[in-house]
């Protein structure tokens, strides 16, 4: 029965996102469309982190670097007069993949606290690299003159078009990663998380599997960066700071570690709480911290797990 509840919750969530543009248009509230778009973009980044955190047991504190790599690829190409969307997309994916490959090759040779500190260190290195790029605004960031140009195929300058591109991307990422974690590859990741030595003893190349997952995760995060650059038409090193990486971590924990769909709920909860609480008080971070503590203490499987459990009891 719980499996059916999970499917119902996922379907309801995706249906709500899919129908939101129509509901926002009918209510004359275009602002909610921008908020929902931002939620989906960060949900993609959070889901990518959940692949290595929830299934691989790898606490990566540098994921914002891959988000920034994808966004800066779009900004740099646009700065030099290259507006082709296919080139932007390929460059964002390639940049994030290369950065995550380099970070993974070094950090995955360690474990535990050392792994956390190395990923954090690399993330800050990428951040300071962004602040040193004076040609592209340095610490102040740089504007992007127009959205990525896909010709007559897609016009990302239209809010609804970019929204549905992000929506389809989120659905595709959830579907593909769902297949991945249920495959032999996902079984190896979970096995290495539980007992790395035993997996290595039976001949499984744990490092290769983890590196593949790490690069896959970073690449998807770079794809989110591509979408974020097209939404904001602005990039800055702030999107690569360690605090952004911690926000992605909070989204995963808040929604439910190791559930893939959980980070979508976590991204929605965190961004909506941030937007709502900041309107009432300048000390909204304190209230947000109290909410996070309550979720951690009383909903150890996150919001998604709590909803599944609640639905199971009601049956």
Residue 199, token pair as written in the block: 């997996």
Q: How far apart are CA 165 and CA 162, in angstroms?
A: 5
What local confidence, expressed as pLDDT, does residue 17 receive? 87
Backbone angles phi, psi at 202, to 5 degrees: -90, 10
pTM of the model: 0.93
Are 218 and 97 spatial neighbours (Cβ–Cβ below 8 Å)?
yes
> What per-residue confidence (pLDDT) applies to 206?
93
**Quick check: 188 and 206 in contact, CB under 8 A?**
yes
Supply the mean pLDDT for the chain.
89
Give the Cα separation of 296 and 261 in Å (integer).
Answer: 18
pLDDT value of position 2: 45
CA distances from 250 to 26, 123, 184, 210, 262 (A): 33, 17, 28, 22, 11
Query: What are the φ/ψ torsions at residue 210 (nearest 5 degrees)?
Result: -65, -40
Are 77 and 92 in contact by the 8 Å Cβ rule? The answer is no
Q: Structure tokens of 271?
A: 């961004």
Give the pLDDT confidence score for residue 293 in this predicted structure. 85
pLDDT tens profile 122-160 = 999 999 999 999 999 999 999 999 899 998 888 888 878
Residue 282 confidence (pLDDT): 79
For the chain, list residues with pLDDT below 50: 1-2, 314-315
Question: What is the model's pLDDT at position 159?
Answer: 74
- Token pair, residue 283, equals 């000390």
CATH class of 2-314: mainly alpha
């Amino acid at each position: 029965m719980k499996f059916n509840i999970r499917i119902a919750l996922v379907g309801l969530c995706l249906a709500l996102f899919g129908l939101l543009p129509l509901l926002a248009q009918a209510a004359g509230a275009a602002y909610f469309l921008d908020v929902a778009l931002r939620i989906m973009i960060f949900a993609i980044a959070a889901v990518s982190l959940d692949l290595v955190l929830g299934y691989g047991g790898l606490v990566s504190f540098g994921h914002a670097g891959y988000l920034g790599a994808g966004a800066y690829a779009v900004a740099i190409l646009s700065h030099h007069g290259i507006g082709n969307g296919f080139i932007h997309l390929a460059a964002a994916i390639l940049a994030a993949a290369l950065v995550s490959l380099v970070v993974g090759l070094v950090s995955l040779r360690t474990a535990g606290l050392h792994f956390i500190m190395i990923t954090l260190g690399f993330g800050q290195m990428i951040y300071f690299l962004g602040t040193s790029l004076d040609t592209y605004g340095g610490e102040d960031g740089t504007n992007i003159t127009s959205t990525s140009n896909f010709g007559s195929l897609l016009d990302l300058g239209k809010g609804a078009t970019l929204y549905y591109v992000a929506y389809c991307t989120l659905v595709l990422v959830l579907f593909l990663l769902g297949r991945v974690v249920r495959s032999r590859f996902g079984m190896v990741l979970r096995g290495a998380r539980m007992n790395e030595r035993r997996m290595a003893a039976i001949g499984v190349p744990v490092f290769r599997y983890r590196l593949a997952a790490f690069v896959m995760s970073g690449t998807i995060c770079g794809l989110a960066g591509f979408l974020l650059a097209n939404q904001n038409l602005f990039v800055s090193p702030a999107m690569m700071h360690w605090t952004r990486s911690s926000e992605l971590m909070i989204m995963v924990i808040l929604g439910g570690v190791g559930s893939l769909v959980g980070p979508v709920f976590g991204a929605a909860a965190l961004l909506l709480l941030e937007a709502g609480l900041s309107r009432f008080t300048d000390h909204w971070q304190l209230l947000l911290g109290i909410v996070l503590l309550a979720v951690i203490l009383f909903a150890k499987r996150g919001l998604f797990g709590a909803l599944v459990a609640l639905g199971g009891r009601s049956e």
